[in-house]
Amino acid sequence: MSLVEVDEIELRFGGLVAVGDVSFQIEEKNVVGLIGPNGAGKTSMFNMITGFYKPTKGKIIFSGTNIVGKKPSKITQLGMARTFQNIRLFPSLTVRENVMSGMHSKTSQGIWGAVLRTAKQQKEEKEILEIANDCLSFVGIKKYAGRLAKNLPYGIQRRVEIARALATKPKLLLLDEPAAGLNLSERKELIDLILRIKEHFQLTVLLIEHDVGLVSEVADKIVVLDYGRKIAEGLPNEVLANPRVIEAYIGKDDD
Amino acid sequence: MNTPFLKNKSFLYILLFIVMIAIPLITNRYWTDVASTAMFYILLALGLNIIVGYAGLLDLGYSAFFAVGSYTTGILTTQFGVSFWISIFLGAIFATVLGVLIGIPTLRLRSDYLAIVTLGFGEIIRLIANNSKFTGGASGIYGIPKPKIGSFVFQSNVLLYYLMFIFVLLAIFVIWRLGNSRVGRAWKYIREDEDAAEAMGVNGLYYKLLAYGLGAMFGGLAGSLFAVKMSAIAPESFGFMQSAMILLAVVLGGIGRISGVILGAVLVILLPEAMRSFSDWRIFLFGVLLVLTMIFRPNGLWPSKKETEEMDDPEPLKGGSKSVVS
């Protein structure tokens, strides 16, 4: 069964077609890789699924509801969580506070609960803290919990972002170039982490990546975009052998 | 979360509390007045801190809400014989409603545009007060009666000081608890990165409106108290300089932190008084002090907590708990 159905989606900025007529499906509990050269429309695609851009045409069905036109916060509440290509943490808050933000959409206390410290509010606060700590442990950064996000090295910040996304208890996790800027050993740890996340949380993952090698190691299916169009879709080894994909990545052989 | 407000430095806070209670008893009328003015500023700065410090929305017209509270109490008590207690309640409600109404269109803007719009809004309120009949025009409203409970009247400055002190304590309690809650965290997420907050499921517009409305409410409360303390109000008390001074109190002490904001409010009132012997030079010296503060302590005199290193969880890569599985 597919968790996400992207149906003939189009995104125009004035006359420029950033994404045109793309359809694909993300099956439940799969890792789907979305690849393509620079400017292929990967991040635009991503921003449409998460509600940051509104597509000019088409539908995006997420577990049965059309989410086109919904606010990002609303879509997160429906069970989607994302990371950003150029890490967007809450810089002057601690790592723990960062991760606690994930639980926002799963809790409900307002001003009365906060001021009166009702039993329900205290229970929620405890739960938020527990989940945040669990997620921190899971990605292996519990010892940084009290540090300010902005003072941490890049690789750790990436993990904070993933922990924060996991804390929303998503059905679908969207990772936007998680390997960007990581060194070899961090990259290996990331592959391991993505596989562990899929295994442990039974999650569906959509992964945008430049690093084709990384994608082929973790993805069950790959979708390739080029100039805003889908040019291939299928199993990793099939897709990477596809002449159109090779052409998009390294250019056409003129001989 | 642990509660550093109660555990750490509790001695310091108790000492401060005793000093605040003792001020009118051990000083003369002049210093009691200065302390009362400091109380308004604390209340105003705490309210503005919700907007600027917690939610990160730059508001340059905060004195508008102060004016709404003042005029509500002024008009209702002098012209309609309404009791002060009802008027302060209504003043707070009017200020909140106005805050929400002005917030709905403007809070969609990013911060620098918001600053300009609020600046204009503050001026509009002042000009309405200056040019309307029901606000008494440029001469304002006078003869505002002192609050009373039954036959007990808060006639003296000392009693009014204590009345304001109670309001300040209530405000500290409410705002501190709000700041350390799900709502307070949502504000901080928006302040830090609005897009990321939205991606985490925080409804940006809703929480910005909430911050704006609550901040306005405290501005309205302070305004009502100001009206009965002064017993006369006029539009010039609610101009841009007032907004700027309140903002200064928030930034000077340590933005986003209650103790810092209180310190800032006290300094904004106390420093010009303490430098009275320099006569015309005092505002200049005050300015120099501010510039030096911003150069050497850009996060304010009493900035937020430092980070901690936690080493309580040495097992990094295995683990996690089932509670997160959805």
Within a domain: residue B98? yes
Q: Per-residue pLDDT tens for A99-108?
A: 999 999 999 8
Q: Domain of B60?
A: 35-325
pLDDT over 70, % of chain B: 90
- Judged against a pLDDT cut of 90, whether residue B309 lies above it is answered with no
Distance (Å, whole) CA A228 – CA A211:
19
CB–CB of B310 and A145 under 8 A?
A: yes
Place of tokens 């945008």: A208
Determine the residue type at A41.
Answer: G
pTM exceeds 0.95, yes or no: no
Contact B282, B276 (CB under 8 A): yes
Within a domain: residue B196? yes
When pLDDT is averaged across residues B224-250 and rounded to a whole number, the result is: 91
Determine the residue type at B320.
Answer: G
When pLDDT is averaged across residues B308-324 and rounded to a whole number, the result is: 44
A51 phi-psi bin (left φ>0, alpha ψ -120 to 50, beta other) = left
Within a domain: residue A195? yes
Question: Domain total for chain A?
Answer: 1
Nearest to B201 among A77, A97, A111 (CB): A77
Within a domain: residue A122? no
Cα distance from B292 to chain A (closest Cα, Å)? 24
- Judged against a pLDDT cut of 90, whether residue B300 lies above it is answered with no
Within a domain: residue B14? no
Contact B144, B69 (CB under 8 A): no
Cα distance from B313 to chain A (closest Cα, Å)? 6
When pLDDT is averaged across residues B310-320 and rounded to a whole number, the result is: 43
Q: How confident is the model at residue A253 (pLDDT cuts 50, 70, 90)?
A: low
Within a domain: residue B95? yes
Residues constituting chain B: 326
Within a domain: residue A184? yes
Is B307 within 8 Å of chain A by CB?
Answer: yes
Question: Domain total for chain B?
Answer: 1
Q: Domain of A224?
A: 2-90+165-250
Residues constituting chain A: 255
ipTM of the complex: 0.91
pLDDT of residue B324: 39
Within a domain: residue B188? yes
pLDDT of residue B318: 39
B160-189 CB burial, b ≥16 within 10 A, e <16: bbbbbbebbeebbebbbbbbbbbbbbbbbb
Within a domain: residue A40? yes
Contacts of B186 in chain A (CB under 8 A): 104
**The Cα angle at residue B77 between residues B76 and B79, in degrees rounded to 5:** 65
Higher per-residue confidence, A61 vs A15: A61
Q: Per-residue pLDDT tens for B7-58?
A: 567 788 888 888 888 888 888 888 888 999 999 899 999 999 999 999 999 9
Question: Two tokens at B77?
Answer: 């008590």
Question: Two tokens at A43?
Answer: 């991040």
- Judged against a pLDDT cut of 80, whether residue A54 lies above it is answered with yes
When pLDDT is averaged across residues A29-56 and rounded to a whole number, the result is: 91
> Among A125-134, A213-222, B9-18, B77-86, where is mean pLDDT lowest?
B9-18
Residues 138-197 of B with CB under 8 A from A: 174, 177-178, 180-186, 188-189, 192-193, 195-197
Within a domain: residue B3? no
Is A28 within 8 Å of chain B by CB?
Answer: no
Q: How confident is the model at residue B325 (pLDDT cuts 50, 70, 90)?
A: very low
Within a domain: residue B114? yes
- Judged against a pLDDT cut of 80, whether residue A205 lies above it is answered with yes
CATH number (domain holding residue A9): 3.40.50.300
CATH number (domain holding residue B256): 1.10.3470
Longest dimension (CA), chain B: 73
pLDDT of residue B13: 81
Q: How confident is the model at residue B321 (pLDDT cuts 50, 70, 90)?
A: very low
CB–CB of A146 and B204 under 8 A?
A: no
Within a domain: residue A80? yes
Strands (E), chain B: 141-142, 148-149, 152-153, 232-233
When pLDDT is averaged across residues A121-132 and rounded to a whole number, the result is: 94
Question: Two tokens at A39?
Answer: 């400017």
Contacts of A164 in chain B (CB under 8 A): 200
Q: Per-residue pLDDT tens for B77-123?
A: 999 999 999 999 999 999 999 999 999 988 887 767 888 999 999 99
- Judged against a pLDDT cut of 50, whether residue B322 lies above it is answered with no
| Residue B110 CB neighbours (<10 A) | 9
Spatial CA neighbour of A207 closest among A93, A43, A64: A43
Q: Per-residue pLDDT tens for A175-193?
A: 999 988 888 888 899 999 9
CB–CB of A142 and B316 under 8 A?
A: yes
User: Mean of the per-residue pLDDT values for chain A?
Assistant: 91
Within a domain: residue A126? no
Distance (Å, whole) CA A148 – CA B86:
45
Within a domain: residue B29? no
Within a domain: residue A238? yes
Within a domain: residue A36? yes
Place of tokens 């002049």: B30
CB–CB of A131 and B202 under 8 A?
A: no
